[in-house]
């Protein structure tokens, strides 16, 4: 494998004194490829790509796919940190490829890119997300109310809204759940993302399904499996305090106050 090289792009030099120079570097993207129709085992493959260090890992992945190997498979949609579809392990850490700059992942060395862990690997960087979404559905991530429909909107104080503000930010990327060692060893565990989304409704003053959700999370594969390793909080690209949310659900289960 050749060593990554740093070089100035002559074409990127300032023109008529106005534009900023664009620095071009050549990076090695080391991608864990997997195609069960060709090889039953995943293998690491290196790609040399010229890029601007301020580009994102997603841009470089696109360049590999469009210019070197069209069979490279990965998910992405919005490219702006909103859809949650491009969570992957970059240099051994779960991140969104569209929110990770090349300059922040030590481009002087090969940048490793692989699928998130703990979910069945389908092809290259794509995993089967169904077990993840099943846990999400299991905690009933929607407003539950009883009685007649109100004739006006359901009001809530800003203090009450604040209680679950953090967990409304989840984009269901699975970076937290797939960084959790308990989830790796026991795929039955609901996982941090499902608990975050249960939290979002348990602590909503307008919702009446809190007790039901707490009972679901009180089960064997529920919230008590959490070992408070904080991997989830570190992995979350939205900065959600995932471990804190899990602790709040545990406390609500003990006190039944929420
Ligand atoms: S809590 Fe954060 S890491 Fe987990 S699924 Fe939601 S956005 Fe992704
Ligand atoms: S592509 Fe949508 S979050 Fe990255």
Q: Which residue has a Cα nearest atom 1 of ligand 2?
A: 79
From 127, 148, 173, give the residue that closes a domain. 127
Q: In angstroms, rounded to a whole number, what is the distance separating the alpha carbons of residues 20 and 119?
A: 43
Are 199 and 191 in contact, with CB atoms under 8 Å apart?
Answer: no
From 127, 160, 175, give the residue that closes a domain. 127
Token pair of 77 as six digits: 């949609």
Which domain does 220 fall in, by range?
A: 130-255
| 120 and 142 share one domain | no
Q: How many domains does the chain have?
A: 2
Report pTM. Answer: 0.90
Cβ < 6 Å from ligand 1: which residues? Answer: 84, 170-176, 192-193, 196, 235-236, 238, 240, 242
| 120 and 222 share one domain | no
| 63 and 106 share one domain | yes
- pLDDT for residue 18: 53
- pLDDT exceeds cutoff 70 at 147: yes
CA of 98 to the centre of ligand 2 (A): 6
* Average pLDDT across the chain, whole number: 92
Are 183 and 191 in contact, with CB atoms under 8 Å apart?
Answer: yes
Q: Which residues contact 7 (CB under 8 A, 6 or more apart)?
A: 24, 25, 26
CA of 209 to the centre of ligand 2 (A): 31
Q: Which residues contact 153 (CB under 8 A, 6 or more apart)?
A: none
Q: Which residue has a Cα nearest atom 3 of ligand 2?
A: 81
- pLDDT for residue 244: 97
186 inside domain: yes
Q: Which residue has a Cα nearest atom 2 of ligand 1?
A: 236
| 91 and 164 share one domain | no
- pLDDT exceeds cutoff 90 at 236: yes
CATH of the domain at 119: 3.10.20.30
Q: How many CB atoms lie within 10 A of CB 142?
A: 10
**DSSP state, residue 22:** P
Are 108 and 165 in contact, with CB atoms under 8 Å apart?
Answer: no
- More confident position, 68 or 19: 68
**Mean pLDDT within 136-161:** 95
Q: In angstroms, rounded to a whole number, what is the distance separating the alpha carbons of residues 180 and 188?
A: 12
| 190 and 221 share one domain | yes
- pLDDT exceeds cutoff 80 at 10: no
| 139 and 241 share one domain | yes
7 inside domain: no
Q: In angstroms, rounded to a whole number, what is the distance separating the alpha carbons of residues 159 and 143?
A: 19
């Amino acid at each position: 494998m050749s060593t990554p090289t740093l070089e100035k792009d002559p074409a990127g030099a300032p023109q008529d004194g106005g534009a900023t120079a664009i620095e071009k570097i050549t990076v090695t993207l080391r991608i864990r490829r997997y195609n069960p129709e060709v090889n039953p085992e995943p293998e690491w493959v290196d790609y040399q790509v010229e890029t601007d260090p301020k580009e994102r890992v997603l841009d470089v992945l696109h360049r590999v796919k469009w210019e070197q190997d069209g069979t490279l498979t990965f998910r992405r949609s919005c490219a702006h940190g909103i859809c949650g579809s491009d969570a992957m392990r970059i240099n051994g850490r779960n991140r969104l490829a569209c929110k990770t700059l090349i300059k922040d992942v030590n481009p002087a060395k090969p940048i490793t890119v692989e699928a998130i862990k703990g979910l069945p690997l389908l092809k290259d960087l794509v995993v089967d997300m169904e077990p993840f979404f099943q846990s999400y559905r299991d905690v009933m991530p929607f407003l539950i109310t009883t009685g007649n429909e109100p004739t006006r909107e359901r009001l809530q104080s800003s203090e009450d809204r604040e209680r679950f503000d953090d967990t409304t930010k989840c984009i269901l990327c699975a970076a937290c759940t797939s960084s959790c060692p308990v989830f790796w060893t026991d795929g039955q565990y609901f996982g941090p993302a499902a608990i975050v989304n249960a939290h979002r409704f348990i602590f909503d003053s307008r919702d009446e399904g809190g007790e039901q959700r707490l009972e679901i999370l009180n089960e064997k594969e529920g919230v008590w499996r959490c070992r408070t390793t904080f991997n989830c909080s570190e992995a979350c690209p939205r900065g959600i305090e995932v471990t804190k949310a899990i602790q709040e659900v545990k406390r609500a289960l003990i006190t039944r106050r929420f």
